[in-house]
Amino acid sequence: MSSIDETKQFVPLNIAVLTISDTRTLADDKSGATLADRLTAAGHHLAAREIIVDDIDAIRIIVKRWIADPDVDAIITTGGTGFTGRDVTPEAVEPLFEKRMDGFSVAFHMLSHAKIGASTVQSRATAGVAGATFIFCLPGSPGACRDAWDGILGAQLDYRTRPCNFVEIMPRLDEHLRRPKAKGASA
């Protein structure tokens, strides 16, 4: 099990929250509010919060903007991970991933199964890294957002978590872009 190393200083991240829904507004977006409340209570900064309809191009525009923004460390989306015709979050976001985080989906489904049983198979929760930005795509229910934050993201986005966490590897996410070419390299 992971633990918090109290000798380490907390490192606040800038986290953007995107709710994907054809029907929600900021006034009734319980899932986005759950994420915003939890991340700020943990000491992180809410870098941005938006709501967008279930549309691949519209979702990509916002996610790409946040990936390109050096002031956004992580993106959490909520909604659009099911199987209905309008659920397109994985289709919109996964092509942007430079690296998939398959373990996130496994961990999420394990947590979810303990709460809702076999119904967890109806979620296509996914995660990955793009442009040195962590991206997590969660279902649209407040319970799923609560479970993902409390059971995975809260700890993994805390620099003090041991034995390891996402924050400590952040400086190395784009090292392949910063590495100079070897002398004599032709490409």
Domains in the chain: boundaries: 10-172
Range 10-172: architecture per CATH? 3-Layer(aba) Sandwich (3.40)
Q: Is 4 helix (H, G, I), strand (E, B) or coil?
A: strand
Our CA angle for 45, 90, 125, nearest 5°, is 65
The pLDDT tens digits for 123-174 are: 999 999 999 999 999 999 999 999 999 999 999 999 999 999 999 999 998 8
The pLDDT tens digits for 69-93 are: 999 999 999 999 999 999 999 999 9
Is the pLDDT higher at 74 or at 177? 74
pLDDT at 44: 98
pLDDT at 1: 73
pLDDT of 177 strictly over 90: no
* pLDDT band (50, 70, 90) for residue 176: confident
* pLDDT band (50, 70, 90) for residue 185: very low
Half-sphere exposure of 153 (CA within 13 A, CB side): 29
